[in-house]
Homo-oligomer: A and B are copies of this chain.
C-alpha cells in the first residue's frame, strides 16, 4: 500500500471535510464537480484542493473535474473507511452515552463492542445492545476480541492508567475525550477531543471580536 508519511496534519484534517462534502454531493446525485465548485462549497481555494488531493494521486481530469463517486470512494479508502474497526468505550457518563448512542459511527465502520465503567450502578445497563461491564473486565475483553480502538470518556483522573492498560492489551488507536494529554508510546495514535479547550477558544475569539 502507498504510504504518505509526508502528508501534513493540516492536509489530513481537511480530508474528512472533503469526504463529507462528497457524501452530500453523492446524496444529491451530482456526478462530477470541478475544483472551483468544490472551492465554493468548502471555502478552501481551488488550488489548495488540487494540491491536497494530489498528495494521494491524480484524481481530477483537466476540463472535466472530479468524478464524485470515484473521488468519494477513493477518499473513503484513504481515510480507512472501507474497513471495520472494533472499539471499546470506557466511561459511560453523559458524554460516553452520547458517543455510544451515536448511529453515525457504526455506519462508518466503527463498531463499539464493549462499554466499561467503574460505577456499579451503571454495570448491566444496555447502550445499543451492549451491556456496560466493570472496567476490571476491559483488559481481557480487548485481548480476546482483538480491539483496535479505545474511546476514553472518563474524567481526567484515571484516564492515563486506562490508556496504558488499553495499549498493553493491543489497542493502537485512542479517541480521547478526557481533558488530559495522554503520555503513550509514539507508535500509538491518539486523537483528542478536548471540549473545554474548544469552548475556551470560542470565548477568546468572542472577546477579541467584541
Which of A's residues lie within 8 Å of B, judged by CB? 3-5, 12-13, 15-17, 19-20, 42-43, 78-81, 85, 94-95, 97-99, 101-102, 104-105, 108-110, 148-149, 172-173, 175, 179, 181, 187, 189, 191, 193-209
Q: Are A197 and B149 in contact (CB under 8 A)?
A: no
Give bound CA distance, A195 to B103, whole Å.
12
A13 to B208, CA, bound (A): 14
Of all chain B residues, the one with the shortest Cβ separation from A14 is: B197
From B79, B109, B172, B201, A209 is in contact (CB under 8 Å) with B172
**A79-B203, A189-B206 given; A20·B196 CB < 8 A:** yes
Which residues does chain B contribute within 8 Å of A12, judged by CB atoms? 201, 204-205
Are A108 and B196 in contact, CB atoms less than 8 angstroms apart? yes
**Cβ contact within 8 Å between B108 and A195:** no
| Cβ A199 vs Cβ B191 within 8 A | yes
From A187, A198, A200, residue with most partner B Cβ within 10 Å: A200
B199 and A175: CB pair below 8 A?
Answer: yes
Which one, B81, B197, B202, B204, contacts A203 given CB within 8 A?
A: B81
Q: Are A108 and B187 within 8 A (Cβ)?
A: no
CA of A175 to CA of B197 in the docked complex: distance in angstroms? Answer: 12
Please name 25 pairs of A and B residues whose Cβ atoms are closer than 8 Å in the assembled complex, sorted by A.
Answer: A3-B208, A4-B208, A13-B201, A16-B196, A16-B197, A16-B201, A17-B194, A20-B197, A78-B204, A79-B204, A80-B203, A94-B97, A94-B98, A94-B102, A95-B98, A99-B195, A102-B195, A108-B199, A108-B200, A109-B203, A110-B203, A175-B198, A189-B209, A191-B205, A193-B195
Contact A205 B189 (CB under 8 A): yes
* Closest chain B residue to A191, Cβ basis: B202
Question: Residues of B contacting A95 with CB < 8 Å?
Answer: 98, 102
Within 8 Å by CB of A200, from B19, B102, B196, B198, lies B19
